[in-house]
Amino acid sequence: MIPTSFDYVRAASLRDALNALAGSDGTTKVIAGGHSLVPMMKFRLAQPARLVDIGGVGELKGIVEHRKGARIGALATYRDVIESPLLAERFPILAETAHQIGDTQVRNRGTIGGALAHADPASDMPAVMLVLGAEFTLRSKRGKRVVPAAEFFQGAFQTAVAGDELLVEVTLPGAPRGAGMAYVKQMAAASGYALAAAAAVVGRTRKTISHIAVALTGVGDQHHVVRSVQDLVGTKGEPEAIAAAAAKAVEGIDVQGDVHAPAPYRAHLATVVVRQAIERALARAK
Amino acid sequence: MATIFGSGIRRREDPRLVTGTATYTDDVKLPGLTYALFLRSPYAHATIRKVDVAAAKAAPGVVAVYTGHDVNPHTIGVPCAWNVPNCDLKVPAHPLLATEKVRYAGDPVAMVVAESRAAARDALDLIEVDYDPLGAETDPEKALAPGAPQFHADVPGNKAFTWEVAGGDADGEFARAEAKVELRIVQQRLLPTAMEPRAAVAQYNRGSGQLTLWCTSQNPHIHRFLCSVMLKLPEHRVRVIAPEVGGGFGSKIPAYSDEALVSWAAMQTGRPVKWTEDRSENYKVTIHGRDHVEYVEMCGTKDGRITGIRSRVYAGLGAYASTAGPGIPTILHGLVYSGAYVIPHIKCTVHGAYTSATPVDAYRGAGRPEAAYLIERLVDTFAREVGMDPAEVRRKNFIPKSSFPHTVATGITYDSGDYEPALDKALAKIGYHAFRKEQAEARKQGRYLGIGIGSYIEICGLGPSQVAGAIGFGAGLYDSAIVRVYPTGMVRVYIGASPHGQGEETTFAQIVAEEFGIPVEHVEIVHGDTETTPQGWGTYGSRTTAVCGSAVKVAAGRVKEKAKKLAAHLLEANEADLEWADGAFRVKGSPDKAKAFGELALMANVAWNMPAGLEPGLEANAFFDPTNFVYPFGTHACTVEVNPDTGEVKILRYVAVDDCGPHINPVIVQGQIHGGVAQGVGEALQEIAVYDSDGQLLTGTMMDYAVPKATQVPVIETDYTVTPSPVNPLGVKGCGEAGTIVSAAAVVNAVVDALQPFGVRTIDKPVTPARVWAAIQAARGGNGKGAH
């Protein structure tokens, strides 16, 4: 439980951080809350030669209004997310999800940017970002680019972030008016990670579903947008229709089995959480 | 003065534990301290071709690197101390460091001693070992099957032993019985998970030849004994100190190679050496519990009389025979097959197996929870078979109150018992009959509720030393106390047992304060240091209060007898004319003529005016050896709701009615029951150590091994009956393991009850959501494959 030795750079500003990352050969890692990276280092699964600590970079903090949506600084902690009145009003799914992550200590220190850049296939926020249509702002000394969530996540622990880039901000476009949202998670008893979890956003126009987005986490080797639920657009969301759409949720997904959830159970559980998330989101839609 | 014995005063241990001021082994810091780490086999089973430590020796900060070739010729391997008699037990060699072969993932191959833990850790990566991997087998039944990999050259077929206990004529009874049921039960491997992992600090004085070893021990005298053997040191030059110990649950009873190696390194280097496990290492190398595959049967009459129980058990010992390993699935398991019932025909056959997994030893309850689980699962299955209420089957078969002391078919004699009141209390408290109606209503609404009962007895208060010898346990089982009274009337009590969370610093002070009529704050309990405490055998098997507490009571009684002689002398009265009342010896009829304990303490210690023939001082010791084990008992009941869609089990209510004799401190008794039930619920619902086919532990961290969290433990409603034991002067029976014994059975019985509408007959623990779902699918004829 002792990491290999490493150099440590504490960035005082965003410019500092980007300078430290410039020309990185892949042996430099960014550390914020450290809740995923430090355990991996202690197991020596990660052996970075250098850590760039961005914990003191004020520019990366804060949650602000952005048109009808919001911008969330990469250093926002889960606790910041939970306590934000803006997010509570516009994206209540974020607090609902954050409440189901780790424990109080984890939520106090763990950052949303860190979790997204880590891209654990069983972590919670990526699925939520997919259903909210989030965009990720990446900065480097070379410049700035904006990547949509669907392109940001590229597989287990794989993202669009290049070695010299830093995820600085997540931008959420406004959700459809009156949309309901829900995050439903079945946790592994020990870790609290998702055996299967689903995020759903459902918008209605005159009692008919006009917008729906559902994503799964914990089921395969990455996060998945569930396409089958588009069948519900134009319906009133009758229970049978939801169940039928949910039953197809894992089609095309290579469902993973492990000691906690053998693949057949996990595949079944995925359909349950998708169904429940849609039902709950629909019930919350105005 | 209000009676202090029986009062729920606060634990005096807690302030230091909850304010971070307790001293654990890892807190021991000595000048010139070095740090040890072990290189452990990544393979479950492999031949070692070569170990190259040259680069590690040359690394910065490294003090020494040792392999088995350095250590083993000068030491004796890890001993097994429970040589179960009347069977063909084979105990293979267990060298401190492996040289020829490794036999589980975690088997130590080399040791690095360095100036810092970081330097030691870096040096581990520089040791090169060439392994030839061999086949693994961690399942005890499969390890005994033909074609299994062979782990020890001198143990053919990996067969550690075949052991049998029989009473009556079980085979004949099963042949003629009216009703029979059978189950296959897996008692899954469990990881004891003491909050404090193991640790050791050793200091050796080359001048005096004295070794001092601080270590995480439930029994420092046993560790002194076994370390002196392993290190070939005279026992009187070994001092073992168990400072604060953060839980053990059995895992800190055994001797391990680690403590011996740390000591050996201190002797070689002349510098103190410290080693502290991290959690992953703890899960890999500290003993595991349970690990049985059982084929069990029960038979009886159609009207619910149980007449026989029979088993074939495959018990995994792991890679080596741990200190008490062979005794647990045999003596502590088979002998209690009668449970709380009159069962005339019993036969238990246990096949012990060496496997390529971490050694198995005592884990809270050790053998007895396995027995209680199989008995109570069988009773429920039998009740269903004969169409009777499971509570009534229990009642019908209970050993009647009138027959105690009662000898069961396996030959052991229960000291005292009265089982029906505990059952009645549990049923009343949980509202058994009302729940049955609620359950029927819920089923109409598509909800699945269940209720489960477990009635148990436990063999504990280990035990008479003569019996320990007869059953091959390589130690005594008496315990000891010295009660020392200071001139100011303050008292220190030195005990041979070694509490590590159970609260005896508080309860033993209550025993002494009650005896002397003094404030409990005037009594201090000292334990854990072989230098100051008398020979004793440690804290396990719910023995500390029944055995060591009795020694305290007897020694305090001896002090009091002496004080009485002095009081008679000072009061110029005959001893026979004195009585003890309100904390003083008083002359009968003239209660103002009195000598209180404090005054007698002063007069005895200054010895200005002693009666002829009475020595100065006020102190006494006692070695208490009980005449029998004690047999606590009780009934637990639990209600659950099962969600058939997700497979989740929610415990609605949990009721524990236990009888451990009189309570010295009811709050501490309740705490012990709570802790035990938490562990039993964990065993029932979520704890399992899983190995893959290569013998790699897949649940090697707390991310994957599901020790219950506070939110995963139900509210535990406790109640008691009180049936004193006749075998010790306190009448106490011990409650350290009680909560664990039957709780897993009660929970699983409730889950199986809830699943009756699906036709699920049994389900393996832990009853995880995945397994519940799979069981329902299988019962429906669907795809229920894949749950572990």
Predicted confidence (pLDDT) per residue in B609-628, tens digit: 999 999 999 999 999 999 99
The answer to whether residues B200 and B186 touch, using CB atoms and an 8 Å cutoff, is no
**Residue B780, pLDDT score:** 87
**Residue A166, pLDDT score:** 97
Best mutation site among B768, B772, B776 for testing chain A: the one with the most A CBs within 10 Å? B768
Which residues of B fall within a CB distance of 8 Å from A43?
Answer: 280
Cβ of residue A105 closer than 8 Å to a chain B Cβ = no
The answer to whether residues B526 and B533 touch, using CB atoms and an 8 Å cutoff, is yes
**Residue B758, pLDDT score:** 96
- Kindly tell me if the per-residue pLDDT of B788 is higher than 70: no
Greater confidence (A286 vs B557) lies with B557
**Residue B1, pLDDT score:** 45
Residue A26: which pLDDT band, with cuts at 50, 70 and 90? confident
CB atoms within 10 A of CB B146: 5
The answer to whether residues B246 and B279 touch, using CB atoms and an 8 Å cutoff, is no
CB atoms within 10 A of CB B1: 10
Write the residue in B125, B705, B770 that is nearest to A262 by C-beta: B770
Put simply, the answer to whether A2 touches B712 (Cβ < 8 Å) is: no
Reported as a single tens digit per residue, the pLDDT across B29-50 is 999 999 999 999 999 999 999 9
Greater confidence (B784 vs B46) lies with B46
Nearest CA in chain A to B772: A265
Cβ of residue B278 closer than 8 Å to a chain A Cβ = yes
- Kindly tell me if the per-residue pLDDT of A23 is higher than 90: no
Return the structure tokens found at B359.
């050694």
Write the residue in B280, B704, B786 that is nearest to A262 by C-beta: B786
Which residues of B fall within a CB distance of 8 Å from A191?
Answer: 703-704
Put simply, the answer to whether B783 touches A262 (Cβ < 8 Å) is: no
- Kindly tell me if the per-residue pLDDT of B785 is higher than 80: no
Spatial distance between the Cα atoms of B731 and B630, rounded to a whole number of angstroms:
9
Interface of A with B in 134-163 (CB under 8 A): none
Q: Which residues contact B192 (CB under 8 A, 6 or more apart)?
A: B248, B249, B250, B251, B286, B287, B288, B289, B363, B364
Reported as a single tens digit per residue, the pLDDT across A125-159 is 999 999 999 999 999 999 999 999 999 999 999 99
Across all residues in chain B, what is the average pLDDT?
96
Minimal C-alpha gap between A149 and chain B (Å): 28
Reported as a single tens digit per residue, the pLDDT across B507-522 is 999 999 999 999 999 9
Put simply, the answer to whether B786 touches A265 (Cβ < 8 Å) is: yes
The answer to whether residues B575 and B565 touch, using CB atoms and an 8 Å cutoff, is yes
Write the residue in B646, B704, B785 that is nearest to A191 by C-beta: B704
Cβ of residue A239 closer than 8 Å to a chain B Cβ = no
> Distance of CA B608 to CAs B584, B611, B616, B740, Å?
20, 10, 9, 54
Spatial distance between the Cα atoms of A144 and A135, rounded to a whole number of angstroms:
13
Minimal C-alpha gap between B357 and chain A (Å): 17
Interface of B with A in 114-133 (CB under 8 A): 117-118, 121-122, 125
3-state SS of B275-322?
EECCHHHHHHHCCEEEEEEEEEEEEECCCCCEEEEEEEEEEEEECCCC
> Distance of CA A181 to CAs A119, A236, B649, Å?
22, 16, 27
DSSP string, B769-787: HHHHHHHHHHHTTS--TT-
ipTM of the prediction greater than 0.85, yes or no: yes
Average of per-residue pLDDT across B77-98: 97
Nearest CA in chain B to A273: B646
Reported as a single tens digit per residue, the pLDDT across B190-210 is 999 999 999 999 999 999 999
Segment (H or E) for B460: none
Which residues of B fall within a CB distance of 8 Å from A265?
Answer: 647, 769-770, 773-774, 786-787
Which residues of B fall within a CB distance of 8 Å from A263?
Answer: 786
Spatial distance between the Cα atoms of B151 and B695, rounded to a whole number of angstroms:
13
Minimal C-alpha gap between A268 and chain B (Å): 8
**Residue A25, pLDDT score:** 78
Spatial distance between the Cα atoms of A101 and A108, rounded to a whole number of angstroms:
11
**Residue B781, pLDDT score:** 81
Angle between helices B220-231 and B257-269 (to 10 degrees): 60
Segment (H or E) for B55: helix B54-58
Q: Which residues pair with B37 in a beta bridge?
A: B112
Put simply, the answer to whether A190 touches B773 (Cβ < 8 Å) is: no
**Residue B2, pLDDT score:** 55
Minimal C-alpha gap between B395 and chain A (Å): 36
Cβ of residue B703 closer than 8 Å to a chain A Cβ = yes
Cβ of residue A260 closer than 8 Å to a chain B Cβ = yes
- Kindly tell me if the per-residue pLDDT of B61 is higher than 90: yes
- Kindly tell me if the per-residue pLDDT of B503 is higher than 80: yes
CB atoms within 10 A of CB B21: 10
Write the residue in A2, A259, A263 that is nearest to B121 by C-beta: A2
Which residues of A fall within a CB distance of 8 Å from B121?
Answer: 2
**Residue B263, pLDDT score:** 98
For residue B517, cis peptide bond before it (omega within 30 degrees of 0): no
**Residue B784, pLDDT score:** 46
Nearest CA in chain B to A189: B706
**Residue B782, pLDDT score:** 59
Q: Which one-letter DSSP state was computed for residue B534?
A: P
Cβ of residue B646 closer than 8 Å to a chain A Cβ = yes
Minimal C-alpha gap between B646 and chain A (Å): 6
Cβ of residue B275 closer than 8 Å to a chain A Cβ = no
Reported as a single tens digit per residue, the pLDDT across A156-212 is 999 999 999 999 999 999 999 999 999 999 999 999 999 999 999 999 999 999 999
Spatial distance between the Cα atoms of B522 and B490, rounded to a whole number of angstroms:
5
Spatial distance between the Cα atoms of B512 and B527, rounded to a whole number of angstroms:
15
Nearest CA in chain A to B277: A1
Question: Of B383, B452, B454, whose CA–CA distance to B422 is shortest?
Answer: B454
- Kindly tell me if the per-residue pLDDT of B3 is higher than 80: no
Spatial distance between the Cα atoms of A181 and A94, rounded to a whole number of angstroms:
9
Write the residue in B703, B769, B783 that is nearest to A191 by C-beta: B703
The answer to whether residues B534 and B481 touch, using CB atoms and an 8 Å cutoff, is yes
CB atoms within 10 A of CB A194: 30
Put simply, the answer to whether B704 touches A5 (Cβ < 8 Å) is: no
SS3 assignment, position A182: strand
**Residue A118, pLDDT score:** 95
Best mutation site among A103, A258, A259, A274 for testing chain B: the one with the most B CBs within 10 Å? A259
Write the residue in B125, B648, B786 that is nearest to A264 by C-beta: B786
Cβ of residue B700 closer than 8 Å to a chain A Cβ = no
Put simply, the answer to whether B645 touches A186 (Cβ < 8 Å) is: no
User: Residues B706-743, buried b or exposed e (16+ Cβ, 10 A)?
Assistant: bbbeeebbbebebbbbebbbebbebbbbbbbbbbbbbb
Its pTM stands at 0.96
